[in-house]
Amino acid sequence: MNQKKIIAMILVYGLCGIAANLAHPVTPTLFNMHGFGSKVFGYAFSMMSFANFAFSYLWSNLYRKYYAKIIVLLCCISYAIAQILFINAHTTTSLLLARFLAGAFVSGLLIGIPFYMIQYVSKEERSSIITKVATAFSFGGTLGYFLGGLIGNTNIYIPLYTQVIVLIVCGISFFFIMEKNKITSSQESIKSKTIITYGQYIALALTFLVWVSSTSLTQTYAFYLINILKVKPVINGITKGVVGLIALLL
């Protein structure tokens, strides 16, 4: 894969970051409109996060056995459909199901692009390409959060359905940019003990704790702004966007 395609993929992945975060600033407002409380808000996020984690191993195996471009297209479109179900969910069951599906398919997207790209660079360049991919998605996420709050200040459904459209566009773009990667029919898998040291286990545990604390703060803060302080989504988007920008700069 040539350099132009690598750059194009990184840019589209950044666009995915924008799309994935457009809905976040207006989600608490949507919950209030549909009569869901803070408890369901927490359940919904945990359901999506659980599915994201639970399906990670499955996607990693599928990407080794099938063409990545097809799986990425499937994940983007399925994620978009899950978001449509989420927007129109009026019961707790349908809401949690929509969040579960969204988590399952966004997991495939988050794993697929880095997995695909490291196959086309040397071992020395892998850390660099992973950093670029992660930075593009993080920057896109920050921008998406800001834009979602700004646009949602007028009508909360605009960023929600914009997210759906952008996800489909990203999936189609990936399909035409990506080449057919090498696949294997081998059923053997590498045991984690052979590639992860005890020090790395500690690092993973610390990362887990940091993620739990960070998620608890950001999700509670978002719901507090909308449900308690009664501010508009734009405030939620601006504050998250500013914090995300500072984090990227640091």
Number of domains in the chain: 1
Report the CATH number that the domain containing residue 173 is assigned in CATH.
Answer: 1.20.1250.20
Question: How much helix, strand and coil, in percent to the nearest 5, is found in the chain?
Answer: 85, 0, 15
Would you state the pLDDT for residue 248? 64
The predicted pLDDT at position 126 comes to 83
Q: What whole-number distance in Å separates Cα of residue 49 and Cα of residue 8?
A: 28
Q: What is the DSSP letter of 224?
A: I
Q: What is the pLDDT of residue 28?
A: 85
Q: Which of 9, 4, 1, 5 is nearest to 133 (CA)?
A: 9
Averaged pLDDT, groups of 10, the chain, 250 residues long:
87 94 88 84 88 90 89 96 95 95 93 86 82 89 88 91 96 92 61 66 80 69 69 73 70
What contacts 24+ positions apart, CB below 8 Å, involve 53-57?
53/107, 54/104, 55/103, 55/104, 55/107, 55/108, 56/107, 56/111
- What distance in Å separates the CA atoms of residue 130 and residue 111, rounded to the nearest whole number? 11
Token pair belonging to 77: 């479109």
Give the pLDDT of residue 185. Answer: 60
Give residue 16's pLDDT. Answer: 95
Q: What DSSP assignment string belongs to 55-72?
A: THHHHHHHHHHS-HHHHH
Segments forming the whole domain that contains residue 147: 3-249
Q: What is the pLDDT of residue 215?
A: 67
Rounded to two decimals, what is the model's pTM? 0.84
pLDDT at position 174 is 95
Please give the pLDDT value at position 226. 67
Q: What is the C-alpha to C-alpha distance for residues 159 and 239, in angstroms, rounded to an integer?
A: 17
pLDDT attached to residue 25: 86
pLDDT in the model for residue 98: 96
pLDDT value of position 42: 83
What is the model's pLDDT at position 188? 52
